[in-house]
A and B are shown apart, each in its own frame.
Chain A
Amino acid sequence: MKRLLSMLLVVCVLLSTGATIITAANESKITVWAWDPNFNIPVMDEAKARYNKIHPNVEIEIVEMAKADVEQKLNTVLASGMREGLPDIVLIEDYNAQKYLQAYPGAFADLTNEINHQNFAAYKTELMTLQGRIYGVPFDSGVSALFYRTDILAEAGYQASDLNNITWDQFIQIGKTVKEKTGTAMLGFDPADGGLIRIMIQSAGEWYFDENGVPHIVNNEAIKEAMVTFKKIVDADIIKRTSGWNEWVASFNRGESAAVITGCWIIGSIKAEESQAGKWAAAPTPRLNSPSSVNYTNLGGSSWYVTENSPGKDLAVDFLKKTFAADEDFYQKILVAQGAVGTYLPSLDGSAYTEPDPFFGGQKVFSDLAAWIEKIPPVNYGLFTYEADSAVMVVMPDYLAERIDIDGALRRAEAQLKNQIFF
């Protein structure tokens, strides 16, 4: 009885180790981790199909997880120091890139000599550069825009030219008129969302940190103006307050707000409301009054990274090289199918980009966005974007309620941020 049990055990152990050896030896397989079944996953599927046409023997497994789960698994496996259990290619949000690169040195493959990064938007390459080496393949852009309802704006007496290259103050003024004349709010607005602040400060080429990665909030004119503007928007009563993503999307899908200012990835959600076809247009994002601020900025976006110790590393690099870093037609396809605006510069004047979009009243909206991508000020997001984002937004309710003045708010935010950063 005992012998039988132990034999069974041995067989089990042998079988399982055998299985791992077999999978490890299968070098013509790539595993990819990504999130969003409506965006990144179908894009990767398209890339897979194209690569398999050239290399039919390569098996590409695309694992779909929620974004938080990807980050959770990646952090856990990397921190444990294990080399198994990691994918060959992983999608990482741009705000997190430096954090992963610096917290897990040697975990990601150096692609400086593998990929021609000159072909990608400068700001995307910048955020994945560490000590002169470039570690990823840039993917989608979060180039932001002022999307607005032409019909509602026209009712308030505004034309496209009135919204072109405006400042936030002008935007607020327009919003007041719109609210007054049509009763519609100008923006769906989540008071807990720090996205607008990030849009504003990147437009001035600033971030929460200076070039050495030291928190830079107290004397940062861009952050100061961004927070003041945030309050002006709230005080002007031109917003429809929402909580969470669904309510926010519903605010413009239902026609309760006349404009959306965010990354271009929102286009899919805007177009989801087909009854509003032909009533939308896109203009450059409003800028701050500060002379360094431009009308071109970014919110979000992510890129592909190859893990250094994966068995399929070379294959994974080759896969990315031949699809995301070479295939212009691929980018046209994903733009049409998923609305994914890539950052691969040679693809940005392709046929799909120059096509007039009837949903946007015939505006060549993607061609406009592509032109703005190249003008986005590059900033180094550093290691602690989420800590900083939280530090600024924590003081926001007190600042909005005027329990604290702007300088006090900035001081408190910086103090909290500094406290979050150890050694």
Chain B
Amino acid sequence: MTVNPKMPRAKATRAKKRGITLHDKYGWLFISLSVITLGVFMLYPIINSLYMSTIASRGMIQQYVGLGNYRRLFGDTVFLQALKNTLLFFGVQVPVMLILALIISSLLNDKSIKFRGIFRTGIFLPAVTSLVTYALLFRMMFSLDGLINTALLATGIIREPIPWLMEPFWARVTVMIALTWRWTGYNMIFYLSGMQNIPDELYEAARIDGANKLLQFTRITVPLIKPIILFTAITSTIGTLQLFDEPMSFSSGGVTAATIGPGNSLLTLSVYIYNLCFKYMPNFGYAATVAYVIVILVAVFTIIQFKLAGDRR
């Protein structure tokens, strides 16, 4: 190497004034690979898909429609249903999951509980299982004469088996249960690590002041891990708005079935994008338009969450 990497800063600043130094050249050289890769594989597709969303196509036959694709969205009943389903998953499943994760993590943060490690591992484990395996098992468990129905019938909670994956309402419930099972532990880990950073003195002081557990939870724990709650809320929002795997594997036959779940009850925006590209008449332009809807939704919800959390950073 011709340049001493430990070149004093003052010298470097002086050198910069004279123009590009060797230092700069190497800097650019070293980052060029990632910049070019990012440009080709991130920036270009993003810009190009924006252009694509102004085009309607039947495979190779293309037609420029300007904002036509965006206007189409409002009259497209399939899109509206996909949007409704996606928002439903987001609106119901995300809060339930996050609250559950909060409760579990605060329970498991109690130092007096024995075998905490085992519980934590057990609850986190679903997040690392393979999608196909768990989808297959869930479908078996939730079939008409599967484990869940048999157990519920045996305990007398229900009289008729629940048609889990065969009716729109229950199909959505099943997928929400599956999602919650899979991702609660993942969020719990974040909360746990946050809670472990809260000093014990705070709780001790609160106890002395006569605050009960609930009050300690709402007044100390939640405010102090708020940034983490915000983080998990945003990642869960993005994950749910892009939901693809579960609807695909829980609907009968996935790609080959007529609908995604009974009456398209599991059709999400991402699955609709897939169908528009590969199952239906290939219309990549319209699919790009739907993709931008997801982008806008994610942006809007993230901004709302930032505002609600009152985080100025």
Residues on A facing B (Cβ under 8 Å): 67-68, 71-72, 75, 78-79, 81, 99-100, 102-105, 107, 190-194, 241-245, 247, 383-384, 386-387, 389-390, 392-398, 415-416, 419-423
Contacts and interface: CB of A to CB of B under 8 A. Distances in A.
A79 B257 contact: no
Nearest to B144: A241
A381 B280 CA distance: 13
A396 B263 contact: yes
A103 B167 CA distance: 35
Main SS class of interface, A: helix
B264 interface: yes
Nearest to A396: B263
B281 A192 contact: no
Given A190-B252, A192-B166, A103 B258 contact: no
Contacts of B279: 71, 386
B45 interface: no
B75 A392 contact: no
18 contacts: A68-B278, A103-B61, A107-B60, A192-B166, A192-B257, A194-B259, A244-B165, A384-B281, A386-B258, A390-B78, A394-B78, A394-B264, A416-B77, A416-B78, A419-B77, A419-B78, A422-B56, A422-B286
Contact of B139 (A105, A243, A390, A420): A243
Interface string B245-289: 000000111111111011111000000000001111111101000
Interface of B: prevailing SS? loop
B263 A75 contact: no
A193 B252 contact: yes
Contacts of A389: 258
A263 B149 CA distance: 32
Contact of B166 (A100, A105, A243, A390): A243
A383 B254 CA distance: 21
B259 A79 contact: no
A80 to B, nearest CB: 9
B261 A192 contact: yes
Interface of B: 56-61, 63, 72, 75-78, 81, 139, 143-144, 163-168, 251-259, 261-265, 277-284, 286
**Top 9 A-B pairs ranked by shortest CB distance?**
A103-B59, A194-B258, A393-B258, A397-B263, A244-B252, A243-B165, A68-B255, A389-B258, A393-B259
Contacts of B163: 241
Given A247-B143, A397-B265, 18 more contacts: A68-B278, A78-B60, A79-B282, A103-B282, A190-B257, A192-B251, A193-B252, A241-B163, A244-B139, A384-B280, A386-B279, A394-B78, A415-B77, A416-B77, A419-B77, A420-B280, A422-B72, A423-B63
A71 to B, nearest CB: 5
Contacts of B59: 75, 78-79, 99-100, 102-104
Contacts of B77: 415-416, 419
Contact of A393 (B63, B263, B282, B284): B263
Contacts of B57: 79
Contacts of A390: 78, 258-259, 264
A419 B59 CA distance: 18
A75 B277 contact: yes
A141 B253 CA distance: 21
A362 B258 CA distance: 36
A383 B258 contact: no
A416 B76 CA distance: 7
